[in-house]
Chain A
């Protein structure tokens, strides 16, 4: 019970929350102080997250570093935190990426020269405070083992995200500042409504879950562990239809967040209109809460309904993979291309989760982490590129390799990670998802494999059109290469992609046991091989 002595998980979430408040409070004239403060807080959070990872014992209990306090006693709502290996990986991913988001967005919220000053609010301070606020809420979501607690933060993080998207748009807009502001506002509202709608459906299901538990256990509860234990012991049984309805309530909310086809259309708008660091925040961090929650809540609370829905979910995942990749090929806007590529990648993650094999789910978990890193690398370099030329349109580039070789080289590495080149981390997760899917659903595995060919097309087309060819535009001819701050952002990301590509063991070690627990939640074991069949026959 040493864990009880210091609430480590709470501290990991509270630190960025306090940091957000402090950053927002920095006087308007001291922008630089606010930036460094936010950066320092994000590093502190990273340090705490690493302590979490080190204190976590892969061979120990399923949920560790647990905290439990009464919160709304009347409704059985508790403040319950705890992490399994999957949660540790996701918290680590979040804490690792935020410093990069802050460093990459260093100048994104500075007032533009000539902009009318004298505003009462402080945009720079606000920008970094909001990022830290999102971090705090995401960390709580990954650590919450109480369904209601999770729901509250799952919804609450929409608020800072709404302001980040709507308030700090990408200044590179082809049709002028005013049109840009309009598009931005549309994107932010669409993001908010879409996710609120999902949240509403989920709320109904959360309430429904409470009713079911209250009905059968005498006292309603939202505690994941309590419900799981009650289900295992037979104390709590759900009617088939009730379970399915509840499952759908949760799943739709997560599928919007993830996002899964056909609920994906908010993502290209949101990622296209926001600044690159915020786009990274959306796709690499916030969206992962959706896929993470599928693993933890959909499979953990509703195993039978999950099995029932599997064929449909796999079909949607496959559509996402192929459709997202084809749409990415057809994009003219760099950031929207990356957004559609992410939709394809989320398809892989969902596919891996619902393949219900240890390779599929382990792969999906690694996929969440590695996709976060690779998209950050690609998107942040894309942001550096866009900030130089002031345009998001692919056609406005060409020949950058000649004038900015380091920028082009890092962009290529980010792209190669996105197409899952072996040797880089995303290859491992993608291959595991595919092999895990194939071993249970061979046809689905083969269809998904077509996605790797399409990924090569959209990545290399993007690279070809922006980086190669003759330098024909004067803006390209005088384009500066990456600056030291920018290299400092990209280099560690690339180093991580290579390191985990060759040595993913630190992650697989903590993820594997968690996946085994999830597999036993849904009462599944890996399919037997023909070889073991033959041995059994002997």
Chain B
């Protein structure tokens, strides 16, 4: 069985290589090959899953050692995989949703002349993401970590003839690099502390390692920095909204369901370190709580359907990060929400793509309206995703989000109350902005506008290859949560890896659930009050100060622009000046000075060079002569 693990990665990697190097002759079949190889990976994952379920709880992890990678003295890195329950969960999510989105893209990218390349990049993403979750050491994880960053860069910038797309791609990579530097430093710290960075030796017995509290906190914070970059958490969240420049299937797969959740994986995987570093955990929950609200507020103000969903993604990942920061009472729920979110958010994005497909690529929700009659399947699947994300009782999001809210209260003390209230508040805002999206898009009057070329949109249902993935994901959005919750199946499944402790919230569970439902209704009601009753202007009203700030991502981009971009430009420009005039000027000045002294400086540099060289060799000859003299004496 172990030998199958490598195949998981090899199939999409082969696809990427063939599609990217294969050239024009694969244009007509490339997308089929890419999809087939993604499916192969999924089938292998399924085989491995059933094999794993068939074995004892304690005997489920598989290891595959491929080769020794970087051996330098104590520093030993291997290309080796580890498949345990946590990795398995991700592998199924990545290959499952990944295959569906490959299928969807066949239709979505049908008219793009560079479709083959698109599928090559998607395959590259799958392979990198699988390396990320299958690595058995942090250095190999780092390869996957930056690999998905590369795939994300290539796919955000896929339509790179658009300047905005190229800029967004670069921004995503650079912001992510800041996080990556954090991961690198975490690995340095692990190496100097434990003498290794393989999962087993580092994580199995953190207590006995003799590592100081300060070191562990440092490792934890650096891992968190990495997670902030990849998972778009405050303060490294600014790239995610811009990343919506990429084709919509990319937004669904990479920037909603899988890659952006890698930070949650990293923190959960490194749980042993965080458990031993409570200060780092506190920072984790704070980051999660802040982002949860930040993303939700931004999501309320965006008129671009994809950017509204992107705000929502940030917010939902905030929930997961928060849960992961709670320690063993939260890890399993973080991952559970991650999986259900993978279903409904991917479904929502695919729905958004389907709407855009029918509306001449329009993204402004103010120019939608009344689409439920024209795109019934999209409406129903999107609607189920909507109910799931707001946590409608019985659907996936309800179970997973409710568990996180309970765990937040169970953190205990004042912190517990604050976190509990924040998660409830977030749930209310989620209900508000998602209802807004729903109403603006599918209900109300038609507010359709002609596109740049003057064509009115003729919305229609999308082709089968696009509809099927939406339907499958809608099933997941409805049933996954209940399935996971049934007999605590999901928690029991992960428990051997992530550990689990029952939290004891200060309020009884039914009360919390009741509160969740109440805030949900408040959010939905508020949105209906604002967007359901009256006609919606096609041009957005000016809005309150907060609304305007939220439209601009709460001014974080403006801050970045002024401080980092402008400041950086000034810095590099003045350094160029310094280098030319001062550092190099000193050199030229010295040369001119000596040249002038010798009185032989002529107009041409050449004459000067010769004289200088001659004087130097003369000096050298003198030195040699002096030495000879000394020896003779």
Binding site for B on A (CB under 8 A): 185-186, 189-190, 192-194, 196-197, 200, 203-204, 207, 210-211, 214, 220, 261-262, 264-265, 323, 326-327, 329-331, 358-359, 362-363, 399, 401-402, 409, 416, 421-423, 427-428, 431-432, 434-435, 438-439, 442, 445-446, 449-450, 452-453, 456-457, 460-461, 463-464, 467-471, 502-505, 508, 512, 526-527, 529-534, 537
- Asked whether A452 lies within 8 Å of B195 as measured between CB atoms, the reply is no
4 closest Cβ contacts across the A-B interface?
A534-B210, A330-B572, A468-B166, A265-B584
Complex Cα–Cα for A135 and B626 (A): 34
Residues of A within 8 A of B209 (CB): 530-531, 534
Q: Which of B178, B185, B619, B620 contacts A446 (CB 8 A)?
A: B185
Q: A330-B575, A456-B177, A531-B209 are in contact. Are A464 and B192 (CB under 8 A)?
A: no
- Asked whether A531 lies within 8 Å of B210 as measured between CB atoms, the reply is yes
> 5 new A-B pairs (CB below 8 Å) besides A193-B612, A358-B75, A434-B188?
A190-B587, A401-B160, A442-B192, A526-B74, A534-B209
Task: Decide if B449 is an interface residue (CB 8 Å cutoff).
Answer: no
Q: A327-B579, A422-B147 are in contact. Are A530 and B67 (CB under 8 A)?
A: no
Task: Decide if B515 is an interface residue (CB 8 Å cutoff).
Answer: no
Task: Decide if B55 is an interface residue (CB 8 Å cutoff).
Answer: no
Closest to B172 in A: A460
Q: Which of A326, A330, A469 contacts B163 (CB 8 A)?
A: A469
- Asked whether A456 lies within 8 Å of B174 as measured between CB atoms, the reply is yes
A-contact bits for B392-416, CB 8 A (1 contact / 0 none): 0000000000000000000000000
Cβ of B574 to closest chain A Cβ, rounded Å = 9
- Asked whether A207 lies within 8 Å of B194 as measured between CB atoms, the reply is no
Residues of A within 8 A of B609 (CB): 189, 192-193
Q: A204-B623, A531-B194 are in contact. Are A327 and B166 (CB under 8 A)?
A: no
Residues of B within 8 A of A330 (CB): 572-573, 575-576
Task: Decide if B432 is an interface residue (CB 8 Å cutoff).
Answer: no
Chain A residues touching B, majority SS = helix
Q: A431-B184, A446-B185, A527-B192 are in contact. Are A423 and B605 (CB under 8 A)?
A: no
- Asked whether A359 lies within 8 Å of B73 as measured between CB atoms, the reply is yes
Q: Which of B70, B74, B184, B586 has the most CB of A within 10 A?
A: B70
Complex Cα–Cα for A445 and B184 (A): 10
26 A-B contacts (beta carbon < 8 Å): A189-B606, A194-B587, A200-B620, A326-B571, A327-B572, A358-B73, A358-B75, A399-B161, A409-B20, A422-B143, A422-B146, A431-B139, A434-B188, A435-B75, A435-B188, A439-B191, A445-B188, A449-B181, A452-B181, A457-B174, A460-B170, A502-B79, A508-B70, A529-B74, A530-B211, A531-B209
Residues of A within 8 A of B616 (CB): 196-197, 200
- Asked whether B73 lies within 8 Å of A453 as measured between CB atoms, the reply is no
Complex Cα–Cα for A332 and B280 (A): 43
- Asked whether B174 lies within 8 Å of A439 as measured between CB atoms, the reply is no
Q: A194-B587, A207-B624 are in contact. Are A456 and B161 (CB under 8 A)?
A: no
Closest to A340 in B: B579
Task: Decide if B555 is an interface residue (CB 8 Å cutoff).
Answer: no
Residues of A within 8 A of B178 (CB): 453
Which residues from 317 to 365 on chain B have a C-beta closer than 8 Å to any C-beta of chain A? Answer: none
Q: A186-B605, A358-B73, A432-B72 are in contact. Are A530 and B210 (CB under 8 A)?
A: yes
Closest to A182 in B: B605
Residues of A within 8 A of B73 (CB): 358-359, 362, 512, 526
Residues of A within 8 A of B189 (CB): 438
Complex Cα–Cα for A204 and B626 (A): 11
Closest to A336 in B: B576
Complex Cα–Cα for A262 and B579 (A): 9
Q: A453-B181, A526-B74 are in contact. Are A532 and B195 (CB under 8 A)?
A: yes
Chain B residues touching A, majority SS = helix
Residues of A within 8 A of B568 (CB): 329, 457
Task: Decide if B193 is an interface residue (CB 8 Å cutoff).
Answer: yes
Complex Cα–Cα for A65 and B441 (A): 77
- Asked whether A193 lies within 8 Å of B211 as measured between CB atoms, the reply is no
Residues of B within 8 A of A185 (CB): 605-606
- Asked whether B627 lies within 8 Å of A533 as measured between CB atoms, the reply is no
Q: Which of A327, A329, A439, A452 contacts B180 (CB 8 A)?
A: A452
Cβ of A521 to closest chain B Cβ, rounded Å = 16
A-contact bits for B572-592, CB 8 A (1 contact / 0 none): 110110010001101100010
Complex Cα–Cα for A536 and B309 (A): 54
- Asked whether A450 lies within 8 Å of B181 as measured between CB atoms, the reply is yes
Closest to B184 in A: A449
Residues of A within 8 A of B143 (CB): 422-423, 427
- Asked whether B68 lies within 8 Å of A530 as measured between CB atoms, the reply is no
- Asked whether A207 lies within 8 Å of B627 as measured between CB atoms, the reply is yes
Q: Report how many residues on chain B are interfacial, defined by Cβ distance under 8 Å.
A: 77
Complex Cα–Cα for A358 and B72 (A): 7
Cβ of B185 to closest chain A Cβ, rounded Å = 6
- Asked whether B150 lies within 8 Å of A421 as measured between CB atoms, the reply is yes
Q: Which of A211, A327, A432, A532 contacts B630 (CB 8 A)?
A: A211
Cβ of A414 to closest chain B Cβ, rounded Å = 14
Complex Cα–Cα for A441 and B174 (A): 26
Q: Which of A197, A423, A504, A529 has the most CB of B within 10 A?
A: A529
Closest to A401 in B: B160
Task: Decide if B511 is an interface residue (CB 8 Å cutoff).
Answer: no
Task: Decide if B142 is an interface residue (CB 8 Å cutoff).
Answer: yes
Closest to A460 in B: B170
Task: Decide if B499 is an interface residue (CB 8 Å cutoff).
Answer: no
Complex Cα–Cα for A432 and B72 (A): 9
Complex Cα–Cα for A200 and B571 (A): 36
Residues of A within 8 A of B195 (CB): 529, 531-532
Cβ of A451 to closest chain B Cβ, rounded Å = 9
Residues of B within 8 A of A197 (CB): 616
Complex Cα–Cα for A468 and B145 (A): 25
Task: Decide if B157 is an interface residue (CB 8 Å cutoff).
Answer: yes
Residues of A within 8 A of B211 (CB): 530-531
Complex Cα–Cα for A192 and B617 (A): 13
Residues of B within 8 A of A204 (CB): 620, 623
Task: Decide if B33 is an interface residue (CB 8 Å cutoff).
Answer: no
Q: A193-B612, A464-B167 are in contact. Are A327 and B575 (CB under 8 A)?
A: yes
Cβ of A424 to closest chain B Cβ, rounded Å = 10
Residues of B within 8 A of A431 (CB): 70, 139, 184
Residues of A within 8 A of B170 (CB): 460-461, 463-464
Closest to A422 in B: B143
A-contact bits for B219-231, CB 8 A (1 contact / 0 none): 0000000000000
Complex Cα–Cα for A265 and B167 (A): 31
Q: A193-B609, A326-B572 are in contact. Are A468 and B157 (CB under 8 A)?
A: yes
Q: Which of A422, A450, A508, A533 has the most CB of B within 10 A?
A: A422
- Asked whether B72 lies within 8 Å of A362 as measured between CB atoms, the reply is yes
A-contact bits for B50-94, CB 8 A (1 contact / 0 none): 000000000000000001111111110001000000000000000
Complex Cα–Cα for A384 and B630 (A): 56
Q: Which of B71, B173, B191, B193 contacts A435 (CB 8 A)?
A: B191
Task: Decide if B602 is an interface residue (CB 8 Å cutoff).
Answer: no
- Asked whether A438 lies within 8 Å of B188 as measured between CB atoms, the reply is yes
Complex Cα–Cα for A532 and B167 (A): 47
Cβ of B580 to closest chain A Cβ, rounded Å = 8
Cβ of A264 to closest chain B Cβ, rounded Å = 8
Task: Decide if B215 is an interface residue (CB 8 Å cutoff).
Answer: yes
Complex Cα–Cα for A6 and B185 (A): 49
Task: Decide if B613 is an interface residue (CB 8 Å cutoff).
Answer: yes
- Asked whether B181 lies within 8 Å of A214 as measured between CB atoms, the reply is no
Residues of A within 8 A of B165 (CB): 468
A-contact bits for B186-202, CB 8 A (1 contact / 0 none): 01110111110000000
- Asked whether A533 lies within 8 Å of B210 as measured between CB atoms, the reply is yes
- Asked whether A504 lies within 8 Å of B70 as measured between CB atoms, the reply is yes
Residues of B within 8 A of A200 (CB): 616, 619-620
- Asked whether B174 lies within 8 Å of A460 as measured between CB atoms, the reply is yes
Which residues from 135 to 185 on chain B have a C-beta closer than 8 Å to any C-beta of chain A? Answer: 139, 142-143, 145-147, 150, 153, 157, 160-163, 165-167, 169-170, 173-174, 177-178, 180-181, 184-185
